[in-house]
């Protein structure tokens, strides 16, 4: 844990990381400190705004809503990559979240991602006290794109905070695992959508291996593949089924990271869903990835498989498959999304 950076330290850290910063009004004193202390801090939370237009977004995150007063973040990262400093101190961004996740973030002890959160905003641990908050301008519908300059700014902002705490000798902020998404903190949140947090953490970790002034060349920047999953009805159980995608994820020799999420219907609660990545070459399977197992819930079931760092062989293509083991005869693949970053 650590004492939060001062306003001046935060500003210097962002500038040192090569970011363009916009100081919005009285951001240094704009906070919710009358509702409780800010700090000690344990990490940094990434959100999406569900808004369009930078000016309107800045106004919303600064002023908030009738039932959620502003500021709603410390910084808002716009489509053009500019970081708008909105508040300093306690802000209304994290809400309640999972205490187990907080323990894992404090210890930076989790694997690819923290444990799925079991508490949400209404009954969770106070996150506004414990995290930096970054709202990122995006509609959050899975279709609104994340421009490269914006994504790069998100990475730089996380690295800036971590690097600044390292420089102070704090025992918090030594790894990219200090950064999590809102969906990883609270059971009733789904953001951010359009990139995966394991991928973001991998990019933050890569940036931290360089100096703050590092500017990656185009060859260093990943390519993004986000093909939607095609709908298929009446799929059988108890066998491995390839997930049909509207386009390729990765073809040819490349390193990759990412997540494929699936929306399944008609599965009995408690049934087991197993998922894994696999590779094909010349129409034949060459290898399969580690199996991830999920448990179906009441109603529709949402499952995902993540690889925080894989490799596709030359001439091979990446795919994903799943199997449902339970007592139902068939189920429907309703929708889904691949969110992959890869480097040749």
Mean pLDDT, 10 residues at a time, the chain of 344 residues:
92 96 97 96 96 96 96 96 97 97 94 92 95 96 86 96 92 83 95 89 92 80 86 95 94 88 92 95 90 89 84 92 90 92 82
Q: How many domains does the chain have?
A: 2
Q: What is the pLDDT of residue 254?
A: 86
Q: What is the pLDDT of residue 172?
A: 59
Residues 209 and 131 in one domain: yes
Residues 32 and 150 in one domain: yes
Q: What is the pLDDT of residue 219?
A: 61
Q: What is the pLDDT of residue 4?
A: 96
- Which pTM was predicted? 0.70
Q: Which of these three, 200, 219, 238, is where a domain ends?
A: 219
Is residue 329 in a domain? yes
Residues 154 and 278 in one domain: no
Backbone φ/ψ region at 143: left (φ over 0), alpha (ψ -120 to 50), beta: alpha
- Asked if 170 and 2 touch (Cβ cutoff 8 Å), the reply is yes
Residues 301 and 193 in one domain: no
DSSP state of 142: S
Q: Which of these three, 219, 253, 283, is where a domain ends?
A: 219
* Dihedral pair phi/psi, residue 334, rounded to 5°: -80, -45
Residues 229 and 208 in one domain: no
Q: What is the pLDDT of residue 194?
A: 84
CA–CA distance from 60 to each of 38, 51, 74, 163, 175 (Å)?
21, 9, 13, 29, 31
Is residue 159 in a domain? yes
Is residue 1 in a domain? no
Residues 193 and 275 in one domain: no
Q: What is the pLDDT of residue 333?
A: 96
Residues 100 and 240 in one domain: no
Is residue 41 in a domain? yes
Q: What is the pLDDT of residue 89?
A: 98
Token pair 């690097």 is at which residue? Answer: 163
Q: Which of these three, 219, 248, 263, is where a domain ends?
A: 219
Is residue 2 in a domain? no
Residues 172 and 29 in one domain: yes
Residues 146 and 255 in one domain: no
Owning domain of residue 150: 7-219
90 strand-pairing partners: none
**CATH code where residue 319 lies:** 2.60.120.40
Residues 206 and 230 in one domain: no
Q: What is the pLDDT of residue 196?
A: 87
Is residue 174 in a domain? yes
The answer to whether the bond into 192 is cis (omega within 30° of 0) is yes
The residues, ordered by sequence, that sit 6+ positions from 127 with a Cβ below 8 Å of its Cβ are 45, 93, 94, 95, 96, 97, 102, 185, 186
Residues 17 and 136 in one domain: yes
Token pair 């908030």 is at which residue? Answer: 64
**CATH code where residue 146 lies:** 3.40.80.10
Residues 233 and 337 in one domain: yes
């Amino acid at each position: 844990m650590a004492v939060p950076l001062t306003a001046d330290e935060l500003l210097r850290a962002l500038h040192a990381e090569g970011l363009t910063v916009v100081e919005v009004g009285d951001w240094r004193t704009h906070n919710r400190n009358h509702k409780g202390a800010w700090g000690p801090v344990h990490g940094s939370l990434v959100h999406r705004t569900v808004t369009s237009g930078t000016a309107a977004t800045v106004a919303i995150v600064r002023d908030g809503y009738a039932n959620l007063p502003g500021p709603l973040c410390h910084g808002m990262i716009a489509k053009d990559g500019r970081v708008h400093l909105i508040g300093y101190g306690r802000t209304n961004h994290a809400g309640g979240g999972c205490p187990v996740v907080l323990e894992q973030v404090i210890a930076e002890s989790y694997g690819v991602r923290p444990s799925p959160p079991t508490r949400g905003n209404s009954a969770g641990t106070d996150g506004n006290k414990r995290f930096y908050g970054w709202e990122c301008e995006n509609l959050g519908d899975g279709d609104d794109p994340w421009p490269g300059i914006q994504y790069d700014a998100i990475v730089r902002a996380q690295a800036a905070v971590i690097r600044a705490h390292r420089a102070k000798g704090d025992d918090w902020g030594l790894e990219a695992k200090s950064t999590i998404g809102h969906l990883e903190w609270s059971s009733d949140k789904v953001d951010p959508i359009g990139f995966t947090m394991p991928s973001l953490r991998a990019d933050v970790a890569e940036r931290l291996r360089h100096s703050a002034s590092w500017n990656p060349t185009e060859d260093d920047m990943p390519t993004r593949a986000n093909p939607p999953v095609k709908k298929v009805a009446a799929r059988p159980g108890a066998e491995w089924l390839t997930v049909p995608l509207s386009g390729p994820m990765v073809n040819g020799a490349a390193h990759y990271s990412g997540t494929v999420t699936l929306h399944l219907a008609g599965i009995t609660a408690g049934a087991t869903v197993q998922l894994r990545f696999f590779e094909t070459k010349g129409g034949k399977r060459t290898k399969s990835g580690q199996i991830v197992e999920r448990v179906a819930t009441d109603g529709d079931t949402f499952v995902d498989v993540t690889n925080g760092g894989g490799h596709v062989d030359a001439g091979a293509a990446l795919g994903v498959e799943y199997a449902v083991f339970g007592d139902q005869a068939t189920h429907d693949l309703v929708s889904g999304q691949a969110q992959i970053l890869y480097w040749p």
